[in-house]
Amino acid sequence: MKTVKNWRFIQSHDNRIDFECDERHSMHIFVLEHDIIRVLFKNNGQFRLDKTWSIAPDGKDVPFEGRERMSTQGFSLPDYDCTDNGDNVTITTDKLRLRVVQGLFLALEWEHNIAGQWQALARDRKTGAYSLGVKDGRVQHYMARSNDDNYYGLGEKTGDLNRKGKRYEMRNLDAMGYNAETTDPLYKHIPFYITRTQDAAFGLFYDNLASCWFDLGNELDNYHEFYRSYRAEDGDLDYYMILGPKVSDVTKRYTAMTGGTFFGPKWSLGYSGSTMHYTDAPNAQEQLLEFVNLCNEHDIPCDSFQLSSGYTSIGAKRYVFNWNYDKVPSPETMSKGFHDAGMYLAANIKPCLLQDHPRFNEVKEQGLFIKDSEFDQPESSVFWDDSGSHLDFTNPNTVSWWKQNVKEQLLDKGINSTWNDNNEYEVWDGDARCFGFGKQIPIRLIRPLQPLLMMRSSFDAQIEHQPNLRPFLISRSGCPGMNRYVQTWTGDNRTNWNSLRYNIRMGVGMSLSGLYNVGHDVGGFSGLRPEPELFARWVQNGVMHPRFTIHSWNDDATVNEPWMYPEVTPIIRDAIALRYQLLPYLYDSLYAAHAHHEPMLRPTFFDHEHDPKTLEECDDYLLGRDLLVASVVEQGQRQREVYLPDNVHGWYCYYSGQWFAAAQNVVLDAPLERQPLLAQAGSIIATSSRLAHVNPQSDTQRQLRVFPLQGRGQSSRSIFDDDGESFAYQEQSFLKLDIVMQCKLERIDLNISKQGQWQPAYSSIEIILPVNETRPVFVNGAALMNNTIQLDSL
């Protein structure tokens, strides 16, 4: 590996500026947007991988075989200036100015609107910024760092939300029972992070699927200034710099650039049951259907159940697309039992066939496996206490085989959704050969791509099977772009209070990294069963995440179920009831994630970055724009100190309606029966009184919980709803309420207009105000009567 030191300006062509480096390499700088600049190196003038599957800026999906790496399609490609000054080249947009300096380092400045001048934003390390491995393909990028900078993102990472001073590795692993504070690496490959300086924020996305390392201030070297680094074992050095200037701007721009968030069905936001125990049992079908009965008996609403892989077992091992008919005599009957109760089913599927799989030879003869690096045979890897071979989703024949089996073995039998699991592709023969759509690729270059193409194959199968329904999928592993297809979670966590605390920070970090539809295994997946207090607190936290699933494989053979402890079952029931009450708000937040790239989970600084207190590590987060969740993560805690971000107008206790001034610490009661929850003043929260599984036809009541400004002022909100399952919303079949709230000392005015052609089952909306609010309410100029608005009057 050699440091790249010298460059020569070649040309500025359209929105690409070309350089020759050290007489052998090429460097291309792309001006993609006024606030996005891309830097790409060709090692010896060649790509290591000439396609990308992560970049999809125009809202259209990437071709299955990948997007040409040089493509700029979907970007606006604005005008810019390029000036060659001999020993430096300056590239200027309306918002960014990049200088390429001899010795090869880049310096980036941004146009500070308030200061009215260019200000430093980022700079490469002057003493060696770029290194390329001519023989082994390794790449390195070093940047200068300031001790005042903070770093966020990198997807699914343990520990604090601020990554400053840490070193991280991305090498997809099945890290069952991980320590949520310290374990690294984990399941996902998200080489994107945000730097927040004292004045602005910017993002760095490295479009490379090879295993890599980020050092954000852990390493020191006396011969260099303070630096941070990115290193990859192979692949192309291809990175995007995204200006904020706020953290929220960076996250939304990056998420849009990688294709946005898929708009799943409304039922996917309901409670989803799961446990390894049921499907591992010899009478699996009986136990699964008994779960339905127990939900009814304990008055627990539920929308879906996730079938763990035990339904595929032969003996103690698991075999994808194989039904164990001794355990599950009739999958169709089982599916019908769930459907009759209003529940959907998601089935676990894995991309590796064990060597004694009944269909192993069939798949081998068709050439659908990744190939060994030396011999003309499938690669062999450790998988589920045996060895097996991984399916190669860069082979179109594999994709066809997979989709056919998803349809025939699952969807035709009444399964509604795919749970794409154990898809980390731990193939450690780095030269194992992937088909590569006809151009052979070593697995080390595309390991995280395989789960991405796996979930896309499952996605396409579901679309083809029921083209009028929005699919719902789950995946544990993946890379940038997985946000276009699936809901995800933080993997097989360990049952303890520490996991509860640090899973929160993991989820928020994933949200800052473009993975918005996230959650955790509530109660803990591995270890001993959670004791009653921990279980209650975990459920209270879990209902405030996009994914709410109680899942377990407890070491003591117990099962995490809502009714597992009679003494806290009422508390669990109330927490789940709150979830269903807030389902319209959650669904509107999912739509905002899809349509406007707004994360559903947000650190408190996401909307309040001007308040330095919000940058401190804490256990609080925002659900959507308006709800502040203060989870209780300490045993025995019955009061909770909460910092209320400076939003000018204050916050309300969601339960009591008590108002608190912003920018202060308050101590709130936190009895075991509930955790603190606050609503932002000026917010309007859509809720439902239907505490049952999602059924738009039966959802006949709707409320708007209005939290007014205390004095004078104005706020606005838009609230979205539709049939919850089809694509008809793309053709104006939706209901959108645009609400402007004008607060005066003597009255509150709600000016409401509606869009869309969809007619919900509810014909009126109840307005609910805090109990101490005495000002009269007027809707579109008329006094509110009986606290009710008729939709047809809008």
* Mean pLDDT along residues 412-434: 98
Q: Determine the straight-line distance between the first and last CA of the chain, rounded to whole angstroms.
A: 67
Is residue 388, in this structure, part of any structural domain at all?
yes
Binned at pLDDT 50, 70 and 90, residue 471 comes out as very high
Strand duo 304-307 + 344-349: pairing: parallel
pLDDT tens digit sequence for 87-133: 999 999 999 999 999 999 999 999 987 767 899 999 999 999 999 99
278 shares a domain with 245:
no
pLDDT of residue 719: 98
354 shares a domain with 282:
yes
148 shares a domain with 284:
no
Report the amino acid identity of residue 688: S
250 shares a domain with 270:
no
Q: What whole-number percentage of the chain has pLDDT above 90? A: 98
Three-state SS for 572? Answer: helix
Is residue 542, in this structure, part of any structural domain at all?
no
* Mean pLDDT along residues 682-704: 97
- Total number of domains constituting the chain: 3
Select from 257, 275, 290 the last residue of a domain: 257
pLDDT of residue 115: 67
Report the amino acid identity of residue 713: G
Mean confidence (pLDDT) of the chain: 97
| CATH number of residue 751's parent domain | 2.60.40.1180
β-strand partners of 660: 651
pLDDT of residue 98: 98
| CATH number of residue 35's parent domain | 2.60.40.1760
335 shares a domain with 250:
no
Report the amino acid identity of residue 341: A
**Residue 705 structure tokens:** 């919980």
DSSP conformation letters of 325-352: TTT-S-HHHHHHHHHHTT-EEEEEE-SE
pLDDT tens digit sequence for 144-191: 999 999 999 999 999 999 999 999 999 999 999 999 999 999 999 999
Is residue 361, in this structure, part of any structural domain at all?
yes
How far is the C-alpha of 703 from the C-alpha of 738, rounded, in Å? Answer: 15
Select from 465, 486, 507 the last residue of a domain: 486
Is residue 564, in this structure, part of any structural domain at all?
no
281 shares a domain with 221:
no
pLDDT tens digit sequence for 371-411: 999 999 999 999 998 999 999 999 999 999 999 999 999 99
How far is the C-alpha of 273 from the C-alpha of 570, rounded, in Å? Answer: 18
pLDDT of residue 646: 97
Is residue 531, in this structure, part of any structural domain at all?
no
pLDDT of residue 116: 73
Q: pTM for this structure?
A: 0.97
How far is the C-alpha of 794 from the C-alpha of 780, rounded, in Å? Answer: 8
Is residue 539, in this structure, part of any structural domain at all?
no
224 shares a domain with 297:
no
Element (H, E) at 32: strand 25-33
229 shares a domain with 331:
no
Please check the confidence at residue 611 and state whether its pLDDT lies above 70: yes
596 shares a domain with 470:
no
Phi-psi region of 481 (alpha: psi -120 to 50; beta: other; left: phi over 0): left
Asked whether the beta carbons of 117 and 104 are under 8 A apart, the reply is: no
291 shares a domain with 215:
no
β-strand partners of 260: none
**Which of 273, 308, 287, 221 lies closest to 562 in space, CA to CA?**
273
* Alpha carbon distances (Å) from 754 to 598, 737, 769: 21, 5, 21
Select from 237, 257, 277 the last residue of a domain: 257
Asked whether the beta carbons of 231 and 139 are under 8 A apart, the reply is: yes
Is residue 220, in this structure, part of any structural domain at all?
yes
pLDDT tens digit sequence for 251-292: 999 999 999 999 999 999 999 999 999 999 999 999 999 999
pLDDT of residue 139: 98
227 shares a domain with 86:
yes
pLDDT of residue 150: 98
Is residue 169, in this structure, part of any structural domain at all?
no
pLDDT tens digit sequence for 176-233: 999 999 999 999 999 999 999 999 999 999 999 999 999 999 999 999 999 999 999 9
- Strand runs labelled E in 327-425: 344-349, 352-354, 381-383, 386-390, 417-420
Asked whether the beta carbons of 24 and 45 are under 8 A apart, the reply is: yes
Q: Indicate the burial class of 730 (C-beta count within 10 angstroms; 0-12, 13-18, 19 or more).
A: exposed
* Alpha carbon distances (Å) from 407 to 212, 347, 362, 466: 36, 12, 18, 10
Strand duo 344-349 + 417-420: pairing: parallel
Reported residue count of the chain is 794
201 shares a domain with 279:
no
DSSP conformation letters of 612-661: GGGGS--SEEEETTTEEEE---STT--EEEEEE---SS-EEETTT--EE-
* Mean pLDDT along residues 566-595: 98
| CATH number of residue 401's parent domain | 3.20.20.80
Residue range of the domain that includes 690: 582-794
